[in-house]
């Protein structure tokens, strides 16, 4: 017998249908993932199931005793309650007893909390076998890195979402609804949540953009597309295969329909001769076909990203030398040395609060390290995606956040109307004059991407860009970043996104230890499992070796006046050589280059080779002389 059944359910906002004659049921033990583009109505369906919204028509049945818990996508409002109080409230009356006991323990012996009160609370909890649930509350708080006595009003938006997730989990409902549960969670918390839900005895329906999370959990995929709900038993890869087949069949059917409609339209316009021979039945069929064509809802569009990498930066982008940074007694980065070169694609991973955003700010010269040196390369233009969306003014409209009141924006040197540009990011004309504060999380992320992609940038810094984006948009963003020829720094907890994009990974591993690994997330995981000690110590050993070598060389030799002058002039020399190298490469790449005189061709090619050698030598001299500076 199913836990919940939906029969011919419909819901529309104004003239926009979100759910059309939807049928669905879920059984105990199922883990169902609800997929669909942003704005198709997934969260609305959750609100209907949880009883927070009423359908226009149709039936929703479940047993009156069915317990449903719902994690909403939006963060909770301010509350003076502590995190423990909010989480324990998911347990009803017993949760209140646990909260009272938790607060009483902190004030035991004081006048307002006599020992008799504490004993009474202990007795009530024992009668309801509540100590196991108290342990469960403590475990969930620990795994989600939540401080029990912190007030909700003092928490960030991401932490508040984790509080609500904890409340939903400890209540152990028969049906659990999770809307983007992995948003603002680090990888360790996500993997713990996966294990927890794999052992969960009730039924689960979840919405997520995290494809690794989806693949790990889902036993069935349901897709909401243009108001219609389709079910795909099996895993995510099976769904992708079947969906491609459905879209191909739909495209063939639409092409056949459109051809027939075109033939009827041509017939009706033939004039007097046609009027003598036509029959009313054929005219009625044409009118019906026109009606069907108008009612056919087109599949939602795809975001059209377009990155402008601008001019090439220098070969060296950033050189971090023995960086140390701490907040009070908390060491964030301890003796980190690494060099970021042009074209590198680096992922940055670690627990929440470990220092990933701090490292980005040090690289961008927004923070100064307490020790060490940051050497920036030449000709850098930076685009920065802030996870807190600080570059968006919530009071301004979508249009004004992009164009500051102008009707046009400059895209790769060409003027485009702002309405046309925003349509590429799935903002309809009627949406662009809405204030940013009313946008959903996914819409705000798309708007911030639209804003930073207007900037020519050869260094792209993305801090958690994947939150709230649907899977189709994520895959398009992946494709775009794969073709990007600038340098990329990416902070993300999306394991699939990291694996598909980055070529090396900087990992925060606690206690200020920050190490760099070849490859993406799975490569990092593999190296830590097979060579845990060697891998963790490898980079630090190299750094220590370099430090010792530098110290020994410094003892042996000090730069002469001439060598110091040479070192001071090397950055300018390298920049000049790089500019000449770029100009020569542009000449050689032209189609008419090899139509010139042979002597001129040979001269240009030889000069290109010579510049490459001089540039290589200049880098070597810079690295060598810098050891003694």
In percent, the amount of the chain with pLDDT more than 70 equals 76
Look at residue 540 and tell me whether its pLDDT is greater than 90: no
- What global pTM score does this model have? 0.66
Q: Do domains 309-381+460-465+488-553 and 561-626 have the same CATH topology?
A: no
Query: Rounded to an integer, what is the distance from CA 364 to the centroid of its chain?
Result: 21
Are 464 and 387 in contact, with CB atoms under 8 Å apart? yes
Higher pLDDT, 189 or 552: 189
Q: CA-to-CA distance for 528 and 510, rounded, in angstroms?
A: 14
Dig out the tokens for 396 from the structure: 């301004």
Point out the least confidently predicted range of 112-116, 131-135, 149-153, 524-528.
Answer: 112-116
Q: Which residues of 222-256 are buried (b: 16+ CB within 10 A; e: fewer)?
A: bbbbbbebeebeebbeebeebbeeeeeeeeeeeee
What mean pLDDT is reported for the chain?
78
Look at residue 27 and tell me whether its pLDDT is greater than 60: yes
Span 561-626: which CATH code? Answer: 1.10.287.380
Look at residue 102 and tell me whether its pLDDT is greater than 60: yes
Q: CA-to-CA distance for 589 and 329, rounded, in angstroms?
A: 55
pLDDT of residue 507: 92
Range among 60-64, 156-160, 170-174, 546-550 rated most confident = 60-64
Strands 487-491 and 345-349: parallel
pLDDT of residue 555: 38
Look at residue 557 and tell me whether its pLDDT is greater than 80: no
pLDDT band at 370 (very low <50, low <70, confident <90, very high): very high
Strands 459-463 and 487-491: parallel
Range among 56-70, 228-242, 420-434, 466-480 rated most confident = 56-70
Which of these CATH numbers, 3.40.50.300, 1.20.120.10, 3.90.180.10, 3.40.50.2300, describes 76-175? 3.40.50.300
pLDDT of residue 252: 75
Q: CA-to-CA distance for 120 and 163, rounded, in angstroms?
A: 28
Residue 125: partners with Cβ closer than 8 Å, 6 or more residues away: 94, 97, 98, 101, 131, 134
Strand, helix or coil at 5? strand
pLDDT band at 240 (very low <50, low <70, confident <90, very high): confident
pLDDT band at 472 (very low <50, low <70, confident <90, very high): confident
Q: Is 486 left (phi over 0), alpha (psi -120 to 50) or beta?
A: beta
Mean of the pLDDT values across residues 563-582? 83
pLDDT of residue 323: 93
Dig out the tokens for 260 from the structure: 């027939």
With both helix axes pointing from N to C terminus, report the angle between 187-198 and 157-170 in degrees, rounded to the nearest 10: 20
Instruction: Give the pLDDT confidence of 473-482 residue by residue, as tens digits.
Output: 788 788 878 8
Encode 229-261 in three state secondary structure.
EEEEECCHHHHHHHHHHHHHHHHHHHHHHHHHH
Are 317 and 377 in contact, with CB atoms under 8 Å apart? yes
pLDDT of residue 547: 39
Q: Is 298 exposed, middle or buried (0-12, 13-18, 19+ CB in 10 A)?
A: exposed
Are 479 and 302 in contact, with CB atoms under 8 Å apart? no
Are 47 and 29 in contact, with CB atoms under 8 Å apart? no
Mean of the pLDDT values across residues 573-586? 83
Minimal CA–CA distance to 446: which of 480, 410, 417, 395?
Answer: 480
With both helix axes pointing from N to C terminus, report the angle between 441-452 and 471-483 in degrees, rounded to the nearest 10: 20
The answer as to CATH 3.40.50.300 being correct for domain 309-381+460-465+488-553 is yes
- C-alpha distances (whole Å) from 264 to each of 271, 276, 280, 285, 291 are 13, 16, 13, 9, 13
pLDDT of residue 629: 61
pLDDT of residue 222: 92
Residue owning tokens 């993305």? 462
Look at residue 117 and tell me whether its pLDDT is greater than 80: no
Sign of CA pseudo-dihedral 23, 26, 87, 42: negative
- C-alpha distances (whole Å) from 377 to each of 243, 265, 343, 374, 546 are 46, 63, 13, 10, 21
Are 21 and 10 in contact, with CB atoms under 8 Å apart? yes
Residue ranges of domains in the chain: 1-23+56-64, 76-175, 261-297, 309-381+460-465+488-553, 561-626
Higher pLDDT, 265 or 394: 394
């Amino acid at each position: 017998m199913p836990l919940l059944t939906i029969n011919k359910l419909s819901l529309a906002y104004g003239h926009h249908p979100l759910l059309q004659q939807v049928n669905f049921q879920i059984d105990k033990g199922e883990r169902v993932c609800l997929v669909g583009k942003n704005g198709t109505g997934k969260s609305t369906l959750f609100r209907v199931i949880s009883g927070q919204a009423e359908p226009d028509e149709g039936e929703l049945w479940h047993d009156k005793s069915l317990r449903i818990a719902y994690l909403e996508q939006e963060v909770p409002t301010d509350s003076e309650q502590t995190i423990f109080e909010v989480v324990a409230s998911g347990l009803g009356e017993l949760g209140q007893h646990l909260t009272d006991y938790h607060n009483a323990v902190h004030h035991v012996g004081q006048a307002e909390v006599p020992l008799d009160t504490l004993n009474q609370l202990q007795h009530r909890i024992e009668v309801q076998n509540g100590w196991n649930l108290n342990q469960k509350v403590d475990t969930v708080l620990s795994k989600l890195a939540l401080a029990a006595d912190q007030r909700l009003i003092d928490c960030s938006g991401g932490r508040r979402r984790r509080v609500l997730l904890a409340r939903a989990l400890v209540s152990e409902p028969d049906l659990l609804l999770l809307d983007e549960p992995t948003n603002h969670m680090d990888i360790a918390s996500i993997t713990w949540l996966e294990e927890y839900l794999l052992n969960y005895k009730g039924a689960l329906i979840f919405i997520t953009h995290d494809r690794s999370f989806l693949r790990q959990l889902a036993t069935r995929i349901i897709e909401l597309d243009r108001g219609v709900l389709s079910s795909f038993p099996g895993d995510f890869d099976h769904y992708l295969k079947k969906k491609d087949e459905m879209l191909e069949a739909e495209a063939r059917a639409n092409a056949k329909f459109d051809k027939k409609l075109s033939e009827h339209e041509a017939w009706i316009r033939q004039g007097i001769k046609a009027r003598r021979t036509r029959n009313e039945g054929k005219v009625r069929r044409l009118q019906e076909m026109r009606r069907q064509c108008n009612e056919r809802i087109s599949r939602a569009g795809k975001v059209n990203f377009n990155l402008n990498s601008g001019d090439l930066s220098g070969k060296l982008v950033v050189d971090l030398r023995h960086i140390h940074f701490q907040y009070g007694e908390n060491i964030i980065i301890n003796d980190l040395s690494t060099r970021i070169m042009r074209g590198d694609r680096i992922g940055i991973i670690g627990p929440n609060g470990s220092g990933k955003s701090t490292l980005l700010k040090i690289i961008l010269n927004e923070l100064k390290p307490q020790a060490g040196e940051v050497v920036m390369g030449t000709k850098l233009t930076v685009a920065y995606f802030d996870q807190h969306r600080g570059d968006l003014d919530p009071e301004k409209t979508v249009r004004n956040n992009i164009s500051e009141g102008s009707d046009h924006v400059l895209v790769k040197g060409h003027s485009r109307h702002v309405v046309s540009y925003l349509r590429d990011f799935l903002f309809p004309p009627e949406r662009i004059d809405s204030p940013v504060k009313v946008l959903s999380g996914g819409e705000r992320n798309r708007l911030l991407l639209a804003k930073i992609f207007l900037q020519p940038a050869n260094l792209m810094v993305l801090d958690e860009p994947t939150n709230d984006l649907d899977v189709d948009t994520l895959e398009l963003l992946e494709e775009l970043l794969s073709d990007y020829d600038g340098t990329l720094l990416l902070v993300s907890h999306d394991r699939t996104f990291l694996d598909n994009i980055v070529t090396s990974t900087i990992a925060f591993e606690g206690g200020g230890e920050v190490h760099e690994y070849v490859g993406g997330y799975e490569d990092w995981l593999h190296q830590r499992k097979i060579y845990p000690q060697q891998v963790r110590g490898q980079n630090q050993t190299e750094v220590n070796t370099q430090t010792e070598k530098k110290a020994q060389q410094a003892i042996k030799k000090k730069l002469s006046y001439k060598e110091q002058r040479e070192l001071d002039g090397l950055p300018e020399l390298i920049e000049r050589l790089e500019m000449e190298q770029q100009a020569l490469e542009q000449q050689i790449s032209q189609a008419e280059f090899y139509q010139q005189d042979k002597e001129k061709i040979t001269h240009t090619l030889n000069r290109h080779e010579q510049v490459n050698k001089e540039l290589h030598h200049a880098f070597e001299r810079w690295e060598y002389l810098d050891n003694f500076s």
